[in-house]
Amino acid sequence: MSVKPEDFFKNIISHCKEYGYIFQSSEIYDGLSAVYDYGQNGAELKKNIREYWWKAMVQLNENIVGIDAAIFMHPTVWKASGHVDAFNDPLIDNKDSKKRYRADVLIEEHVAKIEDKINKEVEKAAKRFENFDAAMFKSTNARVLEYQKKIDDINTRFKTALNENKLDEVRQIIIDCEIVCPISGSRNWTEVRQFNLMFSTAMGSVSEDASTIYLRPETAQGIFVNYLNVQKTGRMKLPFGIAQTGKAFRNEIVARQFIFRMREFEQMEMQFFVKPGTEMKHYEEWKQKRLAWHLSLGLGENNYKFHDHLKLAHYANAACDIEFNFPFGFKELEGIHSRTDFDLKQHEQFSGKKLQYFDIEQNESYVPYVVETSVGLDRLFLSILSASYKEEQLENGETRVVLNLPPALAPIKIAIFPLVKKDGLPNLAESIMNDLKFDYALSYDEKDTVGKRYRRHDAIGTPYCITVDHQSLEDKTVTVRSRDTMQQERISIDKLFTYFEDKVSMKSLLKKL
């Protein structure tokens, strides 16, 4: 393909708009940044992807059930999850290098440097003395104590500043510590600003009585807070999973790359509850299962790779991403995390309710460990669309724009055309349509030459076109033209249903798993 990568991505974005897949939100009012709407075809494709995921997770796994938790949740949920604190990053800019940093990271790195100094002192001393007692040395050596006092002072100040939301003080700490920008080397800092990464709104119609609640930044917490409800009412035994799809919201500073980063996006998550100690086995298992699910779409094995997290979040003991080869490079598509018992323990603590599982074999109760699979539906949509989008050079020199979507996911499965708009061909086409419409998403088109109609549906990604011609009136056969091969074959009208069944049904895709 001779198209430059950045142009290729631009072409995909225009294609999405031109063919009713994705529109900018509120476009007639000049749009809203990082928010997009799904059009008539986009909504179908998205729904089909979601359905494929849901069936693969819930319907094909006896020990997984699905829920649909509300977007609004009790504010304490987000205290327990750590989002209230962790998602309030204080940011600071260096005026010379124009680089932005997280103020807390700058301070933490500074503290880490001092800790390094302590360690060096300890190492030096260890070489010097036999029977060296590190703990003793740390608690007595004057220089170490001085360093340690510095660290403690900084940490105390920083904690207080954050708790009291005093951003001036955070900046003052950076200045007092003489922290410099790693790029410019200068101490020319802006004031510290805080960016709310969670959207908040007010619940309660009377403003004085209203309380702040958040739009969920992830769907997972809706599963955790319902874990015991589902386990009890569903009589679930470990290991078991709870799946959920739904919107999540992040009030990011800016967002880029089309629907790859959006303020409002949809997640498809499954939290798998397991016996402590078995989590790594399940983690590995889900890595493979989820990769197999992606590969079943047939977009090319080389477009996927695992990316193991070296630096783990505080709640995880193993984590990786499945990355996809987007037009702008390999980027995260799905995350698989071993989240330990962190979330449930946090909710036990904040709610004061026991969230334990009674293991009848061991005759004891414990908080289960959790293995999470979390995929972005919009990202999945983009991965499928961008891998399917082709600008083909045909033998006759023409170009053809085609979406080679997995047939089972295509918004329209079959388009039906009368070859010409007379001689009763439209009637026959309509009657075929009326037979098939209960099983397949169809589209009828009688405008323009048939070649033009084929190309139009190539661009939408419709895998098959049925054309009714004069021969159809005589022998009750039609031509079926394939999007991918552009080949036609003649099929008897009464065999159409079975002809298409294994080609475009969700069932055929699920059977590959």
Residues that bind RNA (CB under 7 A): 14, 17-18, 24, 30-34, 89, 91, 93, 98-102, 105, 197, 250, 252-258, 260-263, 265, 267, 321, 328, 332-335, 374-376, 378-379, 394, 396, 398, 400-401, 419-422, 447-452, 454-456, 459, 467, 469, 479, 481, 486-488
Task: Please state, as a whole number, how many other Cβ atoms lie within 10 Å of the Cβ of residue 420.
Answer: 14
- Tell me how far, at minimum, the Cβ of 127 lies from RNA, in Å: 37
- Tell me how far, at minimum, the Cβ of 236 lies from RNA, in Å: 25
In angstroms, rounded to a whole number, what is the distance separating the alpha carbons of residues 103 and 181?
11
- Tell me how far, at minimum, the Cβ of 28 lies from RNA, in Å: 9
In sequence order, the β-bridge partners of residue 299 are none
Residue among 189 and 260 whose Cβ is closer to RNA: 260
Residue among 52 and 265 whose Cβ is closer to RNA: 265
Residue among 52 and 258 whose Cβ is closer to RNA: 258
Residue among 240 and 381 whose Cβ is closer to RNA: 381
Residue among 196 and 233 whose Cβ is closer to RNA: 196
Query: Do 393 and 399 contact (CB within 8 A), yes or no?
Result: yes
- Tell me how far, at minimum, the Cβ of 291 lies from RNA, in Å: 14
Task: Please state, as a whole number, how many other Cβ atoms lie within 10 Å of the Cβ of residue 110.
Answer: 19
Residue among 33 and 212 whose Cβ is closer to RNA: 33
Residue among 135 and 254 whose Cβ is closer to RNA: 254
* Burial (Cβ within 10 Å: 0-12, 13-18, ≥19) of residue 413: buried
Residue among 235 and 447 whose Cβ is closer to RNA: 447
What is 427-438 written as a DSSP string?
HHHHHHHHHHTT
- Tell me how far, at minimum, the Cβ of 449 lies from RNA, in Å: 5
Strands 414-418 vs 442-444: parallel, antiparallel or unpaired = parallel
- Tell me how far, at minimum, the Cβ of 143 lies from RNA, in Å: 33
Q: Is the dihedral of CA 465, 469, 473, 475 positive or negative?
A: negative
- Tell me how far, at minimum, the Cβ of 10 lies from RNA, in Å: 8
In angstroms, rounded to a whole number, what is the distance separating the alpha carbons of residues 490 and 472?
10
Residue among 437 and 452 whose Cβ is closer to RNA: 452
- Tell me how far, at minimum, the Cβ of 381 lies from RNA, in Å: 10
In angstroms, rounded to a whole number, what is the distance separating the alpha carbons of residues 334 and 270?
11
Q: Which two tokens stand for residue 168?
A: 């001036």
Task: Please state, as a whole number, how many other Cβ atoms lie within 10 Å of the Cβ of residue 264.
Answer: 16
CA 211 to chain centre: 30
Q: Which two tokens stand for residue 277?
A: 């100690």
Looking at residue 495, what DSSP letter applies? G
Helix axes 103-128, 142-163, angle to 10 degrees: 160
- Tell me how far, at minimum, the Cβ of 480 lies from RNA, in Å: 9
CA 512 to chain centre: 23
Give me the amino acid identity at 364.
E
E strands, 137-184, in order:
none
